């Protein structure tokens, strides 16, 4: 379903979507109110939602849209303006799965069409799922029931990788963390570069912890959150007894900028594997190779489960590779990471 007040935009998006025979348009709406009315009788796998519309508007309507169409994924089509970034980040934290920048006139080209269709396909088909996903998830969740053993080594830091659907999961994962949880937290989230400062402010408000956009030479501090900049990968190096961020713009294997892989690979080396990585909802396989390196060096890897992921691509890749010690909901992962890093430290082998 396409929801946009511009007839031109609705027409262009309809033409783009219908160029792929695997997709069909079940409805279009010029306002959020009309979209909600249609969704009561029409099922859509994916909704392309404009936020800035007359009347209720997409942002105010989003909770009702998600309530009315519980199994539907929302792809926000956002402008590049500052207000557009603020509204888009709010929508993503409320449960919208992903965002796509609305191009300027003349920007609806073949490259844009391919990006749009790939996002719709991933959201509509739950990329990363397979016929044996149910058994894999059941097996992966089992360790959460095991008894926690006394600790040998405490993680030096927590590193989180996320993409499509990851912002909502991040809010669930990091909210209400106890003050005793003092590990530095590193986050690589796939977002347009212009959205990163807004994202960092949102995380700070949601978590009540100082959150910074990491640049070259940023000192990693216990209890604080560092977010990868949109123009480069966040990696780590050690200077004396301090951990310092280094920004790299080298192409990543995943093609993502920023990428989760360089972050995890540098952590595996600098922290000698003494770290916890959590892979949340996202398209593709970014993070899988970095998680493998961390795992080989003795680190612990958790992943979000398929049931709660908008797209089980990234967490599914590390789970299927046998790298995860725990697969669960964001809330289950939060409980486990608090236990792993808390005063009553646990042995990482207890999760294997």
Which residues belong to the active site?
163, 190, 286
Say how far apart CA 299 and CA 313 lie, in whole Å. Answer: 21
Residues 6+ apart with CB under 8 A from 181: 223, 337, 338, 341, 342
- Determine the 3-state secondary structure of 285 from DSSP: coil
Cα angle: 273, vertex 276, 278; to 5 degrees: 130
Residues 6+ apart with CB under 8 A from 289: 253, 261, 265
- Omega before residue 258 within 30° of 0, cis: yes
Structure tokens at 297: 């060096």
Bridge-based pairing of strands 326-328 and 211-213 is unpaired
Say how far apart CA 57 and CA 4 lie, in whole Å. Answer: 10
């Amino acid at each position: 379903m396409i929801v946009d007040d511009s007839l031109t935009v609705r027409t262009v998006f309809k033409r783009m979507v219908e160029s792929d025979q695997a997709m069909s348009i079940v409805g279009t709406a010029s306002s959020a109110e009309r979209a909600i009315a249609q969704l009561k009788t029409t099922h859509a796998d994916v909704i392309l939602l404009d936020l800035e519309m007359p009347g209720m508007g997409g942002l105010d309507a989003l909770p009702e849209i998600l309530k009315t169409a519980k199994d539907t994924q929302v792809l926000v089509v956002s402008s590049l303006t500052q207000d557009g970034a603020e509204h888009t980040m709010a929508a993503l934290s409320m449960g919208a799965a992903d965002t796509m920048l609305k191009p300027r006139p003349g920007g609806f080209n073949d490259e844009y069409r391919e990006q749009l269709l790939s996002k719709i396909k991933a959201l509509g088909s739950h990329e990363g799922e397979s016929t044996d996903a149910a058994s894999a998830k059941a097996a992966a969740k089992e360790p959460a029931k095991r008894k926690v053993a006394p600790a040998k080594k405490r993680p030096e830091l927590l590193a989180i990788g996320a993409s499509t659907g990851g912002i909502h999961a991040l809010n669930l994962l990091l909210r209400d963390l106890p003050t005793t949880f003092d590990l530095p937290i590193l986050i690589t989230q796939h977002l347009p570069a212009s959205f990163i400062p807004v994202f960092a402010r949102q995380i700070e408000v949601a978590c009540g912890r100082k959150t910074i956009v990491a640049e070259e030479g940023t000192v990693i501090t216990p209890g604080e959150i560092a977010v990868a900049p949109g123009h480069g990968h966040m990696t780590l190096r050690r200077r004396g007894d301090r951990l310092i961020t280094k920004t790299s713009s080298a192409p990543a294997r995943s093609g993502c900028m920023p990428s989760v892989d360089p972050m995890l690979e540098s952590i595996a080396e600098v922290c000698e594997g003494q770290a916890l990585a959590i892979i949340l909802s996202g398209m593709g396989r970014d993070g899988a190779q970095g998680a493998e390196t961390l795992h080989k060096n003795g680190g612990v890897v958790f992943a979000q489960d398929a049931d709660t992921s908008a797209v089980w691509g990234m967490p599914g890749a590390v789970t299927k590779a046998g790298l995860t010690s725990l697969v669960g909901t964001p809330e289950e992962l939060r409980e486990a990471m608090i236990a792993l890093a808390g005063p009553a430290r646990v042995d990482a082998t207890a999760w294997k």
